[in-house]
Structure 1
Amino acid sequence: MIQTENLKKVYRTDEVETLALAGVNLDIDNGEFVSVMGPSGCGKSTLLNLLGLLDTPTEGSYRFNGEEVGGYTERERAKQRKGTIGFVFQSFNLIDELTVYENVELPLLYLDTPSAERKERIKAALDRVQIAHRRDHFPQQLSGGQQQRVAVARAVVAGPNLILADEPTGNLDSTNGAQIMDLLAELNEAGTTIVMVTHSPADAEYSGRTIHLFDGKVVSENFIKQEYAAHPGT
């Protein structure tokens, strides 16, 4: 699904040039659950933004589902993202003025999904994350754990085959964090590819492989036995 070769990202201002990624080579297969770890400033979020087609690399190749997408324009990247990539962020990124139902509906509106199908998909997504009883509430009326459940529902409602999660439990207590990780594990077991940035070794144990970044480079990889990945500690 994902192949990068010598992927580099440089941020430039009038006075400073910052090398955020210094030549990253990755291969991620369909159905994998991969964690990306490393200290703050090592390039984790930059890598996720590039993989999610939210930004373009300065140099190198990025092939997504066999297609070179590294040089895509913003319009082309947006078209590729629709219905293909779902995002889960640490800060939830819900729209306060919209209800739970309306937040989850947004990706389907962008895809011009017919009304009847939208209703079915939203119901299924809300049921999946066990938040349907809050469908008419607004984000500020929900706990952090509930907001992240809504964010997961929004990420999966269009049926993407890739979910990118950036510190999905970073703003949650341990109980709610474990519930969100269980949801991601269930999605992965159902066939969704997941790439997750995390500082948490406990969260990383849910994945089948952990990639460690340092100074914008991959410095090591650890593999976790698949039969234990979804149930860390067993």
Structure 2
Amino acid sequence: MTLNAPSFEKRRTRPADTPENRILTAVRLEPESSDWRARSGCRGIDTDMFFPVGSGAEVQAQTRYAKKVCGQCPVLKKCRSWALDSGQEGGIFGGMTERERKRVLRARTGLKGTPISASLMEMAQALKVADEWGPQLRQWLADGVMLEQMAKRMAGEDLQTPRKDGIPRIRVVRLAFHVLGVELPTGYAGLSSPPRTTPALDKVRANWPLVTEMRKQGRGLRPIAAKLGVNPDVVRQALKDQAVEVAA
């Protein structure tokens, strides 16, 4: 299969190389033949070269080759910007690997140096939300609007309906506040439904200042759980109830 242009889909897997698929690819790109993708330097090159799989010398060699092609591409900057703005996961776009794009987005969102985890898609979406909805988000926060309701107002649909990309919107909204440099009040309600409760969860919540401080110090779930005498899964659930990102 040849690469007609950078895909606008996440390419963990690729369609079979059949005449029908090659025709569909050509038809899909025909209306956009005048845009930057039609001038990409990777046209006609084996798609797999830009999606190395596995590890070791072979993958490193493929990566070097792909980056060399990108380095000579007349639309390198446009391709790179598109991949970052759309949060592409997997593959080499604009001369950057997924790991390199993630470092850039973590820096842009202010996550660099923090234990907060987020996917490329989430970070890209949060940057857009912060840019387009920043003043409105600040006003909603001042009015006491819950994060769930903020997400629903922006999306115009039910938050519980998963997006096609599988990104939970409430995480993106919370991350957008981080991008804006707005610190949410401790225990700020993310969801309208009350969190479940157990004696162990109540113990964690009663010691929330300690949990928060240990998280700021970069402490994981196990040290916090040992300090409180509870199971790590209980700490994870408490953090989830508070809509706090849990580092992998």
Larger gyration radius, structure 1 or structure 2:
2
Give the number of the structure whose residues are more often strand, by fraction.
Answer: 1
Indicate whether the TM-score tops 0.5. no
Q: Which has the higher contact order (CA 8 A, sep 6+)?
A: 1
Give the structure-1-normalised TM-score.
0.25
Higher helix share: 2
Instruction: State the TM-score, normalized to the length of structure 2.
Output: 0.24
